[in-house]
Amino acid sequence: MTGDRKSSCWRKAGTNVIFLSELTMSQSTLEEPLGARQPVKTQSNWTRRIWPTLEGYLYLAPTLLGLLIFVFIPIITSFRLSLNRIAPFGNQMRFVGLDNYVDLLTSADYWDSVRVTLIFVLGTVPTGIALAVALAILLSYPLGRMAWFYRALIFVPVIISSAVTGVLFRWLYHPVVGYLNYWLVQLGLAESMQQAPNWLGSKEWALLAVIIATTWRQLGFNVIVALAGVQNIDETFYDAAKVDGAGIWQRIRHITLPLLSPTLFFLLIINIIYSFQAFGEIHILTQGGPGRATTTLVYNIFNTAFVGTPQRGIASAQAYMLAIMVILMSFINYATANRRVHYQ
């Protein structure tokens, strides 16, 4: 019994010693100066909220800088020039307000270039899209092992520059050694090379020659986009139409073209913008001639700004008028053609 009492007393004493030592340590901790503690690092609310946005803008900074230098600053500078008359030699400017725009709207040459541009657009856009859809439908059918070759061959004009296209068609259109007139004679469409069309030297044929060259160069892009749209159409629609007895033309008219309308709408907008901006083929083939037969709005801007006596103020005004025209036509197409677009 005595031994049990002694052991219990020692246990209580040990417990009290442990308790007293912990209490002493806690008191010593409380008595430490505040500066001796290590501060807890916490992220501020400002950093949590602002840094993700700032980090995103840092990634966008190179692109935004490029847009500022090569897009926004030239746009602002061009608008400032359009409100001034600039000396042909030197940088002296005189503010004239909207006089440059008034001179354009009362100029016969400007309206003639508008007429040529509209004919050029109406000649390239519908023709290019129609050919692209026809070729895309043909390429969507199994063509054997050479299918990749045909698709690559059609896409070749896209990777060729407009200068190379102009030189190529200038050789094809040559009145003496050109292959185009040679085949016209062989097919009986012309009696001789002398009576064949003078493609680049005649006002009646020059614009058509430029339209053909521009359409050919844009054809590869149009075919690739149209082919992607055709291949995206669900085959079950065609299977159901075959069961109902629909022929190939009925399937194209009632299935392919309606379901291809989003792609056609995209091609319409892109081709209109491209046709308004076409320059390289015109410059290489005809340089706006003969006379002003192929002087479009873009080429008229080039002539006004860099050929003869430069008139950069009037050229800048023409550039803004062209931009307004492109935006207006794109909006009209979106407002009218978009109603007939069928999405799956």
**Domains, the chain, ordered by start:** 102-340 (1.10.3720.10)
More confident residue, 306 or 48: 306
- Helix then strand then coil, in percent of the chain rounded to 5, is 75, 0, 25
Q: How far apart are CA 51 and CA 279, in angstroms?
A: 46
Q: How far apart are CA 287 and CA 295, in angstroms?
A: 8
pLDDT at 216 over 60: yes
Q: How far apart are CA 219 and CA 156, in angstroms?
A: 9
Strand partners, 93: 86
- The whole-number pLDDT of residue 282 equals 94
The predicted model gives 22-36 an average pLDDT of 46
Please give the model's pTM, rounded to 2 decimal places.
0.79
223 burial level (CB within 10 Å; 0-12, 13-18, 19+)? buried
Torsion region of 179: left, alpha or beta (phi above 0 gives left; psi -120 to 50 gives alpha): alpha
Condensed to tens digits (0 to 9), the pLDDT of residues 239-249 reads 899 898 888 89
Condensed to tens digits (0 to 9), the pLDDT of residues 189-212 reads 888 888 889 999 999 999 999 999
Q: Which long-range contacts (CB under 8 A, 24 or more apart) does 326-332 make?
A: 326/272, 326/273, 326/276, 329/272, 330/269, 330/272, 330/273
- The whole-number pLDDT of residue 3 equals 47
Handedness of CA 123, 125, 126, 130 (dihedral sign): positive
For residue 230, the SS3 value is: helix
